[in-house]
A and B are shown apart, each in its own frame.
Chain A
Amino acid sequence: MARTDFGPPDYQELIPPIIKENYGNWKYHTVPRPGVLRHVSYSGAVLHSVRVASPRLVSSDWVRDICNIAEKYCDGYLRFTTRNNVEFLVADESKLQPLLTELDDKDFLIGGVGVSISNIVHTQGWIHCKSAVTDASGLTKSIMDQMTDYFTGKVKVPARLRIAVACCVNMCGACHCSDISIVGIHRTIPRVNDEMASRVCEIPNTIAACPTGAIRPNPKVKSVIINPEKCMMCGNCTAVCPAIKIMDPVNDGVSIWVGGKVSNARTAPMFSRLAIPFIPNEPPRWTTVTEAVRNLVDVWRTNAREGERMGEWINRIGWERFFKLADIPFTDKHLDDFTYAKTTFRSTTQFKF
């Protein structure tokens, strides 16, 4: 039997010597140009990190491409960021410009550092997930094609802006806490195949999976009944019971959310809030969605003060002005009708000792 329970490779063997030598001893960093970080250690050592865009879904040939570059300029060392960009770690300053030139020549996009619109954290979509209401990769590509100048720093933004895409309300990734999120949603009631449910479903689990208590047992046929008045089409019952289907290509689509953040800087972390309740799926380019995202970015960057993130800007001007400036209709869908009891818990590291 194969070796088990040994964990990932030790990072100590994968970090470049300059990091090993200056580990925990960095003094400050600067951003000499968009996409490049210059780290200075108390020892005087200087490390450059060059950040480039990745589609996240990549081929083994792409992996070998970036390995070639890392070997040529970085003694074979590289890393990925928590937003799925690649970073080349340059210890020899004389190799910095040649690396940037080669990356430009090969059409890698250099950027995504600090005040910018960085990579979109996204999910599997139709490429690999059974609950996907939309395609994450296609949405990401379509949106980022519009945002490239903000990624590379060609056009400035007031503050960092984080976009996330999730293909269903499971919101794998950080959609509930991003400046702009695109989340796949259903709008029609799931259908129950009673015969199949009686064979493959655990009825109590299926009932417990419903956030609104819309599901009750149907003992006559050993299945369940969904109360359409209570169902808000989250799809969680379909995750536990394969006999319940919710996919509806005509009515499925995406919603857009704004104003979330995770950092504690200035303001506590914030949830993203509903901006646009529904836009239909329009593959391959999702033009209505990309236009809506572009509008949100535009209205934010022309109105926000320097250093003001989307949620902070909205808190200053108020939601009433946000909806007006963004030219988005406010509807009954924006009124929360879900119960919350944890609003008193302190969801930030901001406090006094």
Chain B
Amino acid sequence: MDEKKTPLLDELEKGDWPSFVTEIKRAAAKNASAADLLAQLETSYENKEGYWKHGGIVGVKGYGGGVVGRYSSQPEKFPHVREFHTFRVNQPAGFFYTAEKLRQVAAIWDQYGSGLFNLHGSTGDCILLGTTTENLQPCYDALTECGFDLGGSGSAMRTLSCCVGQARCEKACIDSMNIIRELTLHYQDAIHRPAWPYKFKIKVSACPNDCAAASARSDLAVIGTWRDVLEMDQDAVREAVDGGFDIFNRVIRKCPTEALEWDSGKRELKITAEDCVHCMHCINMMPKALHIGRERGATLLIGGKAPVVKGAMIGWVLVPFIKMEPPYTEFKDLVDKITDWWADHGKNRERVGELIERMGLSAFLEAVGLEPLPQMVHAPRSNPYIFWKAEEVGSHG
């Protein structure tokens, strides 16, 4: 293939941080579409604008999603990225791989695509970046051979993802990896065949540190928590204090509800259990001494999303506490009620959080069969513009 000069991008091979330009060049050494990607990107850098056309619907047989179609707006100049579609391949829970599996995927992608990856996309999928329409089906067939199915795109349930959870974290209140494994299998149809007003994301973080950023980046966030008292190993607390750990400034002062006290006489950490809001800070600071409680489950937050259309939302409390044990029947029932109500009432491209805001939280709670609870709000309303139903009041006097 003809070598194109890329002086602007070459600049980004310098510096300490690993270079994406080096990676594109490595792929370009044996793949014409990666070479044209580099050339088109250099032109974008020269002219400060992108050269990808609007939309394009492509896919594999049997599915309505999982492939993002992409066409160059300059196909005469960059013929090998005329079609440059991406596969969203559903990642294993917790992003665990064996070298053997990864090698298989790399070999398939060298054969059918550009040899370029995003490890991983923001939602969690393993992204295979760039192939032709013609190669989509054979590539998918090869992926299925080594056990990889596609993830979600479009107005569907999107690929579920989670934090590392019990596989490697002592703070995990729930089995985040098993939860998304089970739900992913249960909701295969909803993931592969878009049937809703817009996208719907579920993410699972096993504790309120929220390492999967579930509350910001999923419509339904499952966040592990506990309902009893956190566990304290007083000897280990003393050991930390004796080792010079500034327990007052680093822990006691930082507790959001002043639930903690350090009794310097008895050399004992005390907690007012009913004041604790399980924020994790003290456990984060003293992982050897403090541990999550025993009565474990999850808090569900609803509505998290990016700005478009009505402004960004951080998910808010829908269910303060739910047990999360296989086969997760109670949770699945709730998901079905939420998505049914949304499918009935949602406008085109209206996220569930926006629909709740439009129709009212009380209408939503009634539809999905949940009681209003003070945990759902920071504070009650401050205006008197209250809706009353006819059955709640007497007839006109």
Binding site for B on A (CB under 8 A): 1-11, 13-15, 19, 23-24, 26-30, 39, 47, 49, 53-64, 66-68, 70-71, 76-82, 84, 86, 108-109, 121, 123-130, 132, 135, 137-138, 140-142, 144-145, 147-148, 151, 169-177, 205, 208-211, 234, 236, 238-240, 242, 247, 249, 252, 262-267, 269, 271, 281, 283-285, 306-307, 338-353
**Nearest residue, chain A, Cβ from B21:** A141
**Nearest residue, chain B, Cβ from A74:** B99
Check B119 against A169 for contact (C-beta < 8 Å).
Answer: no
The smallest beta-carbon distance between A1 and chain B, in angstroms, is 6
Kindly list chain B residues whose C-beta atoms are within 8 Å of the C-beta of A239.
308
Give complex CA distance A123, B217 in Å: 14
Does B27 count as interface, using CB distance less than 8 angstroms?
Answer: yes
**Given the contacts A59-B23, A174-B216, A284-B8, A15 and B306 also touching, CB distance less than 8 Å:** no
Check B99 against A169 for contact (C-beta < 8 Å).
Answer: no
The tally of residues in B whose CB lies under 8 Å from a CB in A reads 152
Check B110 against A60 for contact (C-beta < 8 Å).
Answer: yes
| Cross-interface CB contact of B279 among A14, A57, A137, A265, cutoff 8 Å | A265
Check A205 against B250 for contact (C-beta < 8 Å).
Answer: no
**Given the contacts A55-B20, A351-B320, A264 and B210 also touching, CB distance less than 8 Å:** yes
Does B37 count as interface, using CB distance less than 8 angstroms?
Answer: yes
| Cross-interface CB contact of B50 among A30, A132, A176, A208, cutoff 8 Å | A132
Q: Which 4 residue pairs across A and B have the least CB separation, nearest first?
A: A145-B15, A345-B316, A242-B54, A67-B99
Does B369 count as interface, using CB distance less than 8 angstroms?
Answer: no
Kindly list chain A residues whose C-beta atoms are within 8 Å of the C-beta of B211.
82
The smallest beta-carbon distance between A295 and chain B, in angstroms, is 19
Give complex CA distance A169, B311 in Å: 10
Main DSSP-derived SS at the A contact region:
loop
Does B55 count as interface, using CB distance less than 8 angstroms?
Answer: yes
**Given the contacts A141-B15, A264-B208, A347-B301, A76 and B170 also touching, CB distance less than 8 Å:** no
Check B306 against A58 for contact (C-beta < 8 Å).
Answer: no
**Given the contacts A49-B168, A130-B70, A145 and B280 also touching, CB distance less than 8 Å:** no
Check B166 against A24 for contact (C-beta < 8 Å).
Answer: yes
**Nearest residue, chain B, Cβ from A250:** B48
Does B132 count as interface, using CB distance less than 8 angstroms?
Answer: no
Q: Which of A8, A68, A86 has the most CB of B within 10 A?
A: A8
17 contacts between A and B (CB under 8 A): A3-B144, A8-B148, A8-B181, A27-B291, A29-B287, A58-B119, A59-B23, A60-B115, A80-B120, A81-B95, A135-B45, A169-B308, A174-B213, A177-B215, A345-B377, A350-B279, A352-B276
Kindly list chain A residues whose C-beta atoms are within 8 Å of the C-beta of B175.
24
Q: A109-B16, A141-B21, A306-B250 are in contact. List 5 more A-B contacts (CB 8 A).
A: A79-B96, A130-B54, A208-B348, A238-B54, A345-B303
